[in-house]
């Protein structure tokens, strides 16, 4: 006899798999397109860092949603997923500072040092301490104490990004204002879905951000 909830569970898992895989493929294609245009450009290289980070995160999510992996394999993919998550916000923040024309070298140096520290905590086993299996969505990372500090910094950094984009679009020209507003909308979609940064619905916001960010970088480099 069929479990009444079986159809809903399979459907939820499939949505996560499709969304994560779509985000991965789309991001890889757009990252290669942007880097191929001008790899020497600082704007394009920073986008490349963000693109690689997103790819690690979304493909890690795709693998964790698979039902045919062991807990040990899931733990490896959880760490890969979190490595991408660690560098996503700082790369996006850096990208937007370039687009806004705000030279914040000391701030960026401090932020990158902090996120490298989070990456080292991941290697040390303080960021993710294991995985748990959910019957509806597959494996998910079990956060350690370093992840809790990252969560606070993540919210602060994405909130600061929203404020900078909002202020920047108010004083920008008509064409640039439209691009900044699109980026602001995309950043808001991600930030609103991130009470827990590795939550499954963040992939949807990531797809939206990828769709907005790549054309904006492409158009900005043509100015």
Indicate the average pLDDT of the chain. 78
Report the percentage of the chain scoring pLDDT > 90: 24
What are the tens digits of pLDDT across the range 38-49?
A: 777 788 888 889
Fold of 6-220: Rhopdopsin 7-helix transmembrane proteins (1.20.1070)
Give the 3-state secondary structure of 85-112.
HHHHHHHHHHHHHHHHCCCCHHHHHHHH
Helices (H), the chain: 6-37, 42-64, 71-100, 105-124, 145-171, 174-192, 202-220
H/E element holding 140? strand 138-143
Least confident of 66-70, 87-91, 125-129: 66-70
Q: Is the pLDDT confidence value at 8 over 50?
A: no
Strand, coil or helix: 66: coil
- How far is the C-alpha of 182 from the C-alpha of 198, rounded, in Å? 24
CA angle at residue 26 from 23 to 28, to 5 degrees? 105
| Cβ contact 13:138 at 8 Å | yes
How confident is residue 2, by pLDDT bands cut at 50, 70 and 90? Answer: very low
Q: Is the pLDDT confidence value at 4 over 60?
A: no
Give residue limits of the domains in the chain: 6-220
| Cβ contact 140:134 at 8 Å | yes
Q: Which residue, chain included where needed, has tokens 């993540």?
A: 154
Q: Which residues contact 110 (CB under 8 A, 6 or more apart)?
A: none
- Number of Cβ within 10 Å of residue 3's Cβ equals 8
pLDDT value of residue 9: 46
């Amino acid at each position: 006899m069929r479990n009444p909830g079986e159809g809903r569970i399979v459907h939820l898992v499939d949505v996560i798999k499709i969304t994560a895989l779509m985000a991965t493929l789309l991001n890889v294609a757009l990252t290669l397109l942007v880097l191929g245009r001008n790899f020497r450009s600082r704007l394009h290289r920073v986008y490349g860092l963000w693109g690689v980070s997103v790819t690690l995160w979304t493909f890690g999510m795709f693998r964790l949603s698979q039902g045919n992996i062991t807990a040990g394999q899931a733990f490896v993919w959880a760490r890969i997923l979190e490595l991408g998550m660690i560098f996503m916000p700082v790369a996006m923040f850096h990208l937007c500072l370039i687009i806004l024309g705000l030279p914040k070298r000391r701030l960026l140096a401090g932020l990158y040092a902090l996120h490298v520290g989070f990456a080292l905590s991941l290697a040390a086993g303080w960021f993710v301490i294991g995985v748990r299996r959910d019957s509806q969505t597959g494996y998910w990372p079990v956060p350690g104490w370093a992840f809790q500090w990252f969560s606070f910094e993540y919210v602060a950094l994405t909130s600061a990004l929203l404020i900078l984009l909002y202020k920047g679009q108010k004083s920008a020209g008509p064409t640039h204002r439209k691009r900044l507003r699109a980026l602001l909308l995309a950043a808001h979609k991600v930030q609103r879905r991130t009470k827990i940064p590795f939550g499954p619905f963040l992939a949807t916001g990531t797809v939206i951000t990828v769709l907005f960010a790549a054309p904006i970088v492409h158009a900005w480099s043509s100015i």
